[in-house]
Amino acid sequence: MEILGFSITSARRRRESELSGEIQELKAELDQVKSISLNDPILARIFAGTYGTGNNAIGELRDPLYQIPIVYACVRARAVNIGQVPFKLYRKGTEDAITSGGLVDLFNNPNPLHSRYSLWEGTVTSIDARGNAYLVPDPEEVGGIPLNMWLFNPDQIKPARARATDEWVGWWLKRKGQDDLFLEKEQVIHIKNYNLKDNLLGANPLEVAKATNLLEWDSVRYNYSFFKNDGTPQVAFVSETKLGARRKKELEKTLIEDVKGPDGAHHGVLLEGGLDVKQLGISQKDMEFLQGRKFSREEIMMIYKVPKAEVELYEDMNYATATSADRSFWKKTLIPLGRQIQEEVNRKFLYGFNVEGRFDFMAIDALNAELLEKAEAADKYVRMGYPLNVVNERLNLGFPEVDHGNEPTVFGPSLMLTLPDGETKAVELPMREVTAEIIDEDELAKGIRAKKWNELMQKLLPIMGRATSDVRRYFFNVTQKLYKILAKGAVSTVTKEFEEIPEDEILTAFDDEALKAALEKHILAALEAGVLSVAGSPVLLENPAAAQVLAEKLIKVLEINDTAKREVIEALRKTLLEGLAEGVGEAELESRIIDRMGQKMKDIQKRARTIARTEIGSAFSQGRWSSVEETGAKGIRWISSRDDRVRDTHQDLDGKTTPIGESFVTQKGNTIRFPHDPNAAAEEVINCRCTFEPIYDEE
């Protein structure tokens, strides 16, 4: 019989015989220990694998990952973030990227159960929850490359050791309802935490945090018991006379059992026969115990090196501290973790193909701000006379060496480095010696347009970057307000009666004046920069047309808020209806509402940044257009960025001209007077990065 191409041998039967003998030896040794019975509850829990102690209504702590929310949140924060980082393949020791072929296909589609994202997400989860992760390439190959890359639950794989010498010889793969499968050492990619006590198996972080996890679990049990026993402070019922067993049982049912749980909260009861009630309240010890839960959470986050913002704990957090914590989380936690994983995959699998894999961390937005800082430092070093290759190595920029990079640099035209969030940096490129040769006039014209595009983008992109940053900050603050509204009990109100959706409270989180203040100055700056780029003087800003442009842009910007308010309310209603239809509990419904709200705000923020960039670009372009008309230009020439992000219709217009008063016609038949024309079709305007130059002579 074969599974995943592995043949099953008689090793299973031999191992069962060995284990049977070992169990008998262990039982005999335990029988000799008179102070411990084989039926002792503690010993029973050890054999059962119980993590904690004590009996309670919601069970004992067996797996903190799935029983303690803060542990799950920390592990998920690490796993999901690593899962989103692209894993790329390169020729060993080079920057020659491999973009197609069997190995690329293997990591893009590892197996029928995992995607390229969930493979790494599962790997990190295994390391964080068990200390070990096991990747097994399928022995069935095509062209020498495995058909699948399997990720197994670490609980399924155990070391295989020789009985006589206890030497590690391989791995046992446990399979439900089937014989165990023996895997050779070389067949398994084992990724682990360093363990001082065991050279083979990794240290389990949950074992390190065992005491903290037990405290956190006791807190969960405490809260459960508190609300299970009607959710109010304890009381004592005092009788003036001794009660009989029957009467005592009746009173226990009436006064205790019948009012337990949420359905019995705040119900009145009639006391008779001399009964009195004494309120006991919550003791100081109880309050100290609950306060201790906060510290246990922080200790768990410390073990996993996860900041508060990553697990949606926003107390004492603002935009600046959250952004700094996010960057630190990547640099100090996720990047080292990713490098550990890629090193083991390379060492135990990819190097055999003369290939190495790397996580592309520069694709992560949170890290690109650091690239901007490094670019500024590199610029200073190069201006001081240090060669490019020396600066590249010193700052660990990660660029390949260039032939002319070992000599001081002579500066030439500058280019813009544009980061995903709109932040920009002008980088001057080194001049290469140009030999005399015949230059293609069309290529020369393209080069001149490219230089013009760069000059204009240096004026626009910094404004656009500041605008998108302010939009992000505004919606971050809105999100915080929404979380606070939900945290103070609005969700509980919603779940009890559908008509009581706190729309008024939710709408207060959105502030039109704050959004206007965030963008008005940037729209005006873009409009002024556009005018100055043609006219050389801001006098045209006094033109009523300029004021009209500003007013129109602000109207569109404020529509962002209107749309966001509507979508948040609709998302809340939809989540509520779905939960009520499914009959989920209040706690689950609250969790769904908060999750949906957070995701919706992320979508809104992303769309708002796109709108802000589009309107800033439009204001810049309209400022240039008004100046072109006023300065007597005969026509304009379209200039695209000429990169792989330019839409086809605008790539086709690059270099084409049209007289003032007429329009360009795109391949789709749309008319457009100039890039960012507010009267053009949206598909020609949104996220456009094109510009134009005026023509003053007949061509």
Mapped onto helix, strand or coil, the DSSP state of residue 284 is: helix
The Cα 553–Cα 612 span in angstroms is: 9
The Cα 689–Cα 286 span in angstroms is: 61
Following DSSP, what letter does each residue of 171-186 receive, concatenated?
Answer: EEE--TTS--EEEEGG
Instruction: Give me the chain's average pLDDT, please.
Output: 75
Note whether 523 and 595 are same-domain residues. yes
191 or 533: which leads in pLDDT: 191
Residues 635-659: tens digit of each pLDDT: 899 998 877 778 889 989 988 999 9
Choosing from 631, 650, 684, the residue where a domain stops is 631
pLDDT above 60 for 77: yes
Note whether 470 and 420 are same-domain residues. no
Helix residue ranges, H only, 172-283: 205-208, 210-228, 245-255
Position 364 scores a pLDDT of: 76
Note whether 395 and 498 are same-domain residues. no
Position 292 scores a pLDDT of: 57
Helix residue ranges, H only, 49-135: 64-67, 69-83, 102-108, 116-130
Position 309 scores a pLDDT of: 77
pTM for this entry? 0.46
Residues 93-121: tens digit of each pLDDT: 888 888 888 899 999 999 998 898 999 99
pLDDT above 50 for 487: yes
Residues 229-276: tens digit of each pLDDT: 554 545 666 777 777 778 777 777 776 666 665 455 455 666 666 666
Position 338 scores a pLDDT of: 93
Name 657's bridge partners: 637
Choosing from 372, 401, 433, the residue where a domain stops is 433
Position 41 scores a pLDDT of: 42
Kindly indicate the confidence band of residue 358, based on its pLDDT and cuts at 50, 70 and 90: very high
Position 89 scores a pLDDT of: 93
202 domain-assigned: no
Note whether 588 and 532 are same-domain residues. yes
The count of other CB atoms within 10 Å of the CB of residue 696 is 10
Note whether 469 and 527 are same-domain residues. yes
pLDDT above 80 for 125: yes
Residue percentage of the chain with pLDDT more than 90:
14
Note whether 505 and 541 are same-domain residues. yes
Q: Which residues span the domain enclosing 595?
A: 451-631
Note whether 398 and 490 are same-domain residues. no
| Cβ atoms of 326 and 333 closer than 8 Å | no
| Cβ atoms of 594 and 486 closer than 8 Å | yes
Note whether 417 and 465 are same-domain residues. no
300 domain-assigned: no
Note whether 413 and 457 are same-domain residues. no
Note whether 423 and 564 are same-domain residues. no
pLDDT above 80 for 431: no
Residues 152-180: tens digit of each pLDDT: 999 999 998 877 778 888 899 888 888 88
Note whether 393 and 523 are same-domain residues. no
Region of poorest pLDDT, from 66-80, 410-424, 521-535, 560-574? 410-424
Instruction: Classify the C-alpha dihedral 607-608-609-610 as positive or negative.
Output: positive
497 domain-assigned: yes
The tokens describing 494, both together, are: 């919603």
Choosing from 631, 651, 682, the residue where a domain stops is 631
| Residue 533 one-letter amino acid | S
> Between the ranges 52-66, 192-206, 454-468, where is the mean pLDDT highest?
192-206
Kindly indicate the confidence band of residue 38, based on its pLDDT and cuts at 50, 70 and 90: very low
41 domain-assigned: no
pLDDT above 70 for 572: yes
| Residue 680 one-letter amino acid | A
Q: What total number of domains does the chain contain?
A: 2
The residue among 490, 514, 524 whose CA lies nearest residue 615 is 524
Alpha-carbon Rg of the chain, whole angstroms?
34
Note whether 484 and 414 are same-domain residues. no
The count of other CB atoms within 10 Å of the CB of residue 232 is 12
Phi, psi torsion values for 501, nearest 5 degrees: -60, 125
Kindly indicate the confidence band of residue 671, based on its pLDDT and cuts at 50, 70 and 90: very high
369 domain-assigned: yes
